[in-house]
Amino acid sequence: MAGMIIAIVLMVAGVFFLTVSALGLLRFPDFYARTHAVGKSETLGSILTLSGLAVYNGLELSTVKILFILGFVLVANPTATHAIARAALRTGLQPWTRKKVEPREKRTEPS
């Protein structure tokens, strides 16, 4: 019963962060800021949802598999985010700024 409650709490928190991620995708002004929402919130959202599932399952073989997937998400998600952001930078997309805070050459790709 206690395990059930923990699982529910974890999954609700995960779904909350996934919702935040979707909201961020809609609300943020430019590509890079949106990547923030996807890169962070989605990772934690999926991790919380998956650990909720693991707790719900209890000690089983499939729980071990879920934990493997969890570790994979933890490594793969930031890497993919990094690849996407780098691709955007290389095509010369300038970030949205409120005011000039950096000299212009700092923002561009060095090579």
Partner 1 sequence: MRFLVTAIVAYLLYLLLTIGSGTLLLWNAAELIIGAIFALVVAALVKNRYLKRSLRMLNPVRWFIWFIYLFPFLFAMAQANVDVAYRVLTGRINPGIVKISPKLKTDMALTILANSITLTPGTLSINVDEETNDLYVHWINVKPEVLKEMPRDYHPICNSFPDWARRIAG
Residues that bind partner 1 (CB under 8 A): 17, 20-21, 23-24, 27-30, 32-33, 35-37, 39-41, 43-44, 61, 64-65, 68, 75, 78-79, 81-82, 85-86, 89-90, 95-99, 101-102, 106-107, 109-110
Whole-number minimum distance, CB 1 to partner 1, in Å? Answer: 26
4 vs 108, beta carbon nearer partner 1: 108
Reference 42, options 55, 28, 23; nearest CA is 23
Output the six-digit token pair for 53: 């599932």
